[in-house]
Structure 1
Amino acid sequence: MNLFSATRARLTSMWAKDRTPGRVPDLAFYDLTWGIPRNYGGMTSVLLHRSGTFGEYLDKPVEILTLDPALDVTQENQRLREAGALGSKSTIRGLWQELLAADDDELRAWFGEPLEPEERWSPADLPTPPGTPTGMGRTEWRDGSTVSVVRFDRPDGSIAVLDDRREGRVITVFSHEGRILARYKRMRNFYFAWFDHLMGATPAVLINESKTVGAWVHSYRRRNVLLCQVLHNSHLEPGATSLYGPFTPSRIKMLENNEAFDLLAFLTQQQKSEFEVAFGEEPNRVVLPNSRAFTSLPAADADTRRRGSGIVLASLDARKRVDHAIEAVAGVVGSAGEQVTLDIFGEGRLRGDLEEMVSRLGLESAVHVRGYTTNVQAQLRDHSFLMLSSRAEGMGLVLVEAMAQGCIPIAYDVRYGPSDIIEHGRNGFLVPDGEPLALSAAVDHFLGLPEEEVAALRSAAVARARDFDDARIAQAWKQAIDTAWKHKEAAEPEPPKPQLVRVEQERENAGGTAYTVVLHEDPAQPITAELVADVVSEGHRYGLRVVAKRCDSAAPATYRFVVPAGVLPDSAEGSCAVYVRFRGSRLQRRIKVGTVSVGSE
């Protein structure tokens, strides 16, 4: 048994001794992300804020785990606390900073005793010429444009880790004396060793935020750890007309292993519903929107904001399509009796292009690109309406922030968020995606409403924002975690790989392909798990899941399912593979039973 397997077995044994079935223990809370960018965006802002609400409303300290070797965790904790962005019960921890600072006693507690006490690291293990230092004790060697070796040194100059990628991959951890403490063939197992070191046998919840980390963290399965993945953005590519793809390439590994997570958190009901069309329904999925602290709106008679004052809060990049908002304002400026202005807050590589557009359209007196703001609530309180013209959103939290201040949202109806948050005409306005003229018309309509209707809109917007209040969403998280823990406790062992006897494939008169699958079944151990079929394109960018129906209870076990024609879009191209597996099992335990052609036939 290797070190990784032995550690896992030891932790499972320790956990089993203290386990009380049916009871949710006092869980330790961990949040996981790759790093904390200096100028972080929405996802990092959300995880920092949510961690703070867990501390405030659930009395749960949260340790935020980071894997970025370039992150100075000490500096980051200080910076974010001074900025008020890090909750009083939240702490950022970094794998690399802790590993490089650990003494040999700590390293043995982390990795165990040296694997080969007499074998030591030698400088001869490194390629020549010398590598290039990249900061934080990291040195790398390249073979052309490809990184071949990475060395991590402690502050005292001793080697801590060697990541050798020249023939396969081997990650070696060393003691201060250069003895080999551990070797890993996969980086994820190196990361898992840190998770095990931190959590041990303690009941815990680990919430992963990162799509990059989500591609491999699904393999971290521990009896005492509830593994949660948050989907911060769409699983479908912008503009997708089918719910079966194309899926976002950077999320494919996470998506196809979605059942491995104990809890899969969606920000909107629309995304959860559309996801389940392709991937089927599972008990591990729940809607947990982002939240904000609620601030009361001043009385209506004290509202002095000018009706025509609009605002955009967005990164200035192609995803946000701020040029659509500018074009929409251009269509209103010349026709509205009310003076219309638009203040754009945000930074990004398209700022210069947007400023040039404002000048070209002669809108210098109406549209102003203001740059980044740190006082979002005050800006929203001072503006009458907010425009959202994105290609896609994870939820569109800015809509909630605007509504909480009585700032009326006028938004493209894109995936995901606007239609979940806005009730058209009651607390805001939804506009067909990608139509600046429709944005113009919505602004023009809003400007022409009687004062009493505008006051009712603002009041309804504030009331809707209350549904996303920090305290309410924190309690929703607690309930979801408790339910997922009970389900994890009651779950059956993972089903085995099906043993195929034969498969029959035939065309359906109504279209589609029918499969009859016969599996071996031991009469003494009848099959109780449900059989499902995964239909996936090459690269897994398109797909769907179909439940197979058992034909009868007699052996041999016979199942039937139909893959309907024309479900996968023609853009999937070629044919798709058809696999069967028992529900709840890993992808490694599925077997291929055929192929189907793509298209409407």
Structure 2
Amino acid sequence: MADRLRRLGRQQVSRADQRVVGKLRSPAPRRDPVPELAPPPDVLHVVLVEGIPMEFGGRTASILAKCRTLYEQGGIRSVVLVRNHAHTLPRAVEGMRRRGQLSEGVEVRWLMDAYPDATEAVAPAATPEAETELEAAGWGRKGRWWVRDTTEGSVRRRYRGGALELEDTFDADGARVGREEYDPEGRHRRSLTWDVGSHHPREHVYYRRNGRPMYALTHSSPTGHGERPRERSVTFFDEQGEVESTQPGSLAPVVHRALDALTQSRPTILVVEARQADPDALTYRRDHVRTCYVAHNSHLAHPDSEVDDVRPSFRRLFRRLDTGAAMVFLTDSQRADAEALLGRRDSFWVIPHAAPATTSHTEVEREPGLVIMMGRLAPQKRTDHGIRAFATVLETCPDARLEIYGEGMRRGELQQLIDDLGIGGSVTLEGFTTEPGRQYRRATLCLQSSRFEGAPMVFVEALRQECPIVSYDIRYGPADIVDDGVNGFLVPEGDIEDLARRTVQVLDDPALARSLRAGCEGVDERFGQEAFAARWFELFRTLAADLPTGRG
């Protein structure tokens, strides 16, 4: 195992290493029993994330759903701490509340809002809000922006709800050199500075409530295409805005100060949900804090990788993961692959996402011959494999129908494939649905042909509606959810003919279809809200057992 860990430290695996890698095999995945639902310890739950975009995806939705469940089932309060500053976060949070995704007992905070700041807030600087005032001051309207030319260049302002949101400064050549950002109350929050010719800001300055600098980050310019800028140094300021110290390196010292102020020595479970935040947490050690890292995606470099062809972000985590921290995987099979490399560890847990609470739709009639696919129309989902398989299905079952739910970049390409195969009367792109459960209840079968997954909740949603599944056996998820021959079938990855054969088998045999529907029972016992809470509470009790004031 030591040799394998040393290989994790290399940026590339040599050909000799690759031959050794081929000999590594994953143990058979073990399935932990669902624990009894018991009260959790009295801890604060802090979730460290990189950012929350305006239109966020499944990871953020799963984090918010987890926080809701922990509060509703056990009264645990959660703070989602957002590491990466974005001026759109207040609007994203507003949208969460409006859609009911941000429940009681859960708050979302910028890193800078958790950072210790005992200063008194000052009134925001007055800004002209009426268009006549702006025009009188020499500003002109250009789309969403107000623009004013100066002898040195130009200035652009954007207002939202009557309050100044952004102010950008450009030099005489039209290159952006600065930005000032304000919160919805008009408080100055951040300044950005660009070097001429650079697409990434060189310096970020964050401000206290009294309007003085709090800390500043200096970044190095990316040297390669697609490379992210890296933090080069952090400067701390005292409450009067005077330089306190400057340290080389990353954002970690800022995160550590914020966590100290946020937790205030209270027993805390810190859950790291983004690999970009791992370096901050790996160097944060406090007697009152226990840390857990969640793997939302595969740790392997490619879907068909050997078990020690590990992504650089996970390589760093695996090398530095100490025995006091826990690692959570979403599937038994991913944990098995990790243990093939690192050895069996009691600190490796499997906690699948909870299936969303949905209506059973028992009033909906099953439609014989109806097959559905559910998911983004994106390359990862390989919807074209499902369409090609169904073209073969129609040769044996001409009355069968395939409805495909989802939107994405491949819509035009997939519609063209349907037209080229001449199956437009049987295969339709239905777009996005707000009622996936109802569609599953209508169908005889759910077809999936993804290239890879993390832990596909569409499978659980389908089984909850007694809709069996035919899927490629891929990393990760299908084999952890589908019991082959009991509630569906798993076929070799990429085998379109076998995908079609199993689909025909189910559509052509009503008795088999009924048997598979009956095999869908028990999904809530494994993936329901109560099972989800029971697993997390057990992990929390284990981590908190030796905390200074925690309950075991």
Question: Normalization by structure 2: what TM-score?
Answer: 0.73
Is 2:345 the partner of 1:291? no
- TM-superposed CA distance for 1:254, in Å, is 1.9
Q: Aligned ranges for residues 67-216 of structure 1 at < 5 Å?
A: 67-96=83-112, 104=119, 131-133=177-179, 135=181, 137-142=190-195, 144-145=197-198, 147-152=201-206, 158-165=212-219, 169-175=232-238, 177-181=240-244, 183-185=246-248, 186-216=250-280
* Same amino acid, percent of matched pairs: 26
**Per-residue deviation, 1:352:** 2.5
2:515 and 2:88 mapped to 1: Cα distance? 49
Shift of 1:413: 0.5
Aligned to 1:266: 329
Letter in 2 for 1:308: G
Match of 1:344 in 2: 405
2 CA distance for matches of 1:134 and 1:234? 38
Paired residue secondary structure (1:457): helix
| Whole-Å separation in 2 of the counterparts to 1:357 and 1:261 | 52
**Residues 295 and 330, structure 2, Cα contact 8 Å, conserved in 1:** yes
Change (3 A) 1:261 1:383: farther
Post-superposition offset of 1:98:
5.6
After superposition, the Cα gap between the structure-2 partners of 1:424 and 1:195, relative to the gap in structure 1 and judged at 3 Å, is same
> Number of matched residues?
443
Alignment partner of 1:259: what SS? coil
Aligned counterparts of 1:33 and 1:455: Cα–Cα separation in 2? 44
Measure the CA separation in 2 of the matches of 1:217 and 1:106.
30
* Corresponding residue number in structure 1 for 2:127: none
Task: For residues 320-347 of structure 1, give each alpha carbon's deviation from its aligned partner in whole angstroms, at most 9, with x where no partner exists.
Answer: 21211121122212331432222231x3
Q: Distance in 2 between matches of 1:478 and 1:258?
A: 22
Give 5+ residue unaligned stretches, structure 1. Answer: 1-23, 108-127, 490-601
Residue in structure 2 matched with residue 223 of structure 1 by the alignment: 287
Contact 1:295 1:405 survives alignment (8 Å): no
Is 1:448 aligned with 2:508? Answer: yes
8 A Cα contact 1:141 1:150, kept in partner:
no
Q: Which residue type is aligned with residue 348 of structure 2?
A: R
Query: Are the aligned partners of 2:386 and 2:447 in contact in 1 as well (CA < 8 Å)?
Result: yes
Distance, in Å, in 2 between the alignment partners of 1:350 and 1:184 is 47
Matches for 1:188-587 after TM superposition, within 5 Å = 188-244=252-308, 246-259=309-322, 262-293=325-356, 295=358, 297=360, 304-345=365-406, 347-450=407-510, 452-486=511-545
Distance 1:213 1:295 in 2: 33
Indicate the SS of the match to 1:151.
strand
| Conservation of the 8 A alpha-carbon contact between 2:47 and 2:273 | yes
Displacement of 1:171 in angstroms is 1.5
Distance change (3 Å), C-alpha of 1:154 and 1:203: closer
Secondary structure at the aligned position of 2:298 is classed as: coil
C-alpha distance 37-373 of structure 1, shift in aligned 2 (>3 A): farther
Deviation at 1:397, TM superposition (A): 1.6
Distance in 1 separating the partners of 2:259 and 2:326: 18
Helix, strand or coil at the partner of 2:535: helix
**Cα distance, 1:473–1:73 mapped onto 2, change above 3 Å:** same
Q: Using the alignment, how far apart are the partners of 1:188 and 1:230 within structure 2?
A: 19
The list of structure 1 runs, each at least 4 consecutive aligned residues, that deviate by more than 6 angstroms after superposition, is: 154-157
Shift of 1:376: 2.7
1:210 shift after superposition: 1.0
Q: Which has the higher contact order (CA 8 A, sep 6+)?
A: 2
Deviation (angstroms), 1:31: 1.5
| Letter of the structure 2 residue corresponding to residue 223 of structure 1 | D
Give, in angstroms, the shift of residue 52 of structure 1: 0.8
CA-to-aligned-CA distance 1:18-59 (integer Å, 9 cap, x gap): xxxxxx952111112112222222211211111111011111
Task: Give the conservation status (yes or no) of the 8 Å contact 2:472–2:491.
Answer: yes
Alignment partners' CA distance in 1, 2:391 and 2:270: 48
Aligned residue number for residue 68 of structure 2 = 52
- Deviating more after overlay: 422-431 vs 132-141: 132-141
Secondary structure of 1:265's partner? strand
Alignment correspondent of 1:497? none
Q: CA RMSD in A?
A: 3.1
- SS at 2:45 equivalent: strand
The aligned counterpart of 1:538 is none
Structure 2 counterpart SS, 1:69? coil
Superposed CA deviations along residues 131-186 of structure 1, whole A, max 9, x for unmatched, are: 23275534131364464323345798654432224698222233564223454432
CA drift at 1:289? 1.2
Aligned to 1:238, the other structure's residue is in SS state coil
Whole-angstrom distance in 2 between the partners of 1:166 and 1:303 = 58
Structure 1 Cα separation of the partners of residues 251 and 499 of structure 2:
48
CA shift, 1:258, in A, is 2.9
- CA drift at 1:310: 2.2
Q: Distance in 2 between matches of 1:305 and 1:138?
A: 58
Deviation at 1:297, TM superposition (A): 4.0
Classify 1:134/1:349 alpha carbon distance in 2 versus 1 (closer, same or farther; 3 Å).
Answer: farther
Q: Distance in 2 between matches of 1:64 and 1:238?
A: 30
Residue aligning to 1:551: none
Q: Check 1:140–1:329 CA distance in 2 against 1; reply closer, same or farther (3 A cut).
A: farther
Task: Return closer, same or farther for 1:392/1:488 CA change in 2, 3 Å cut-off.
Answer: farther
Q: Deviations over 1:356-406 (max 9, x none)?
A: 222222232222323333333233233332222222211212111111111
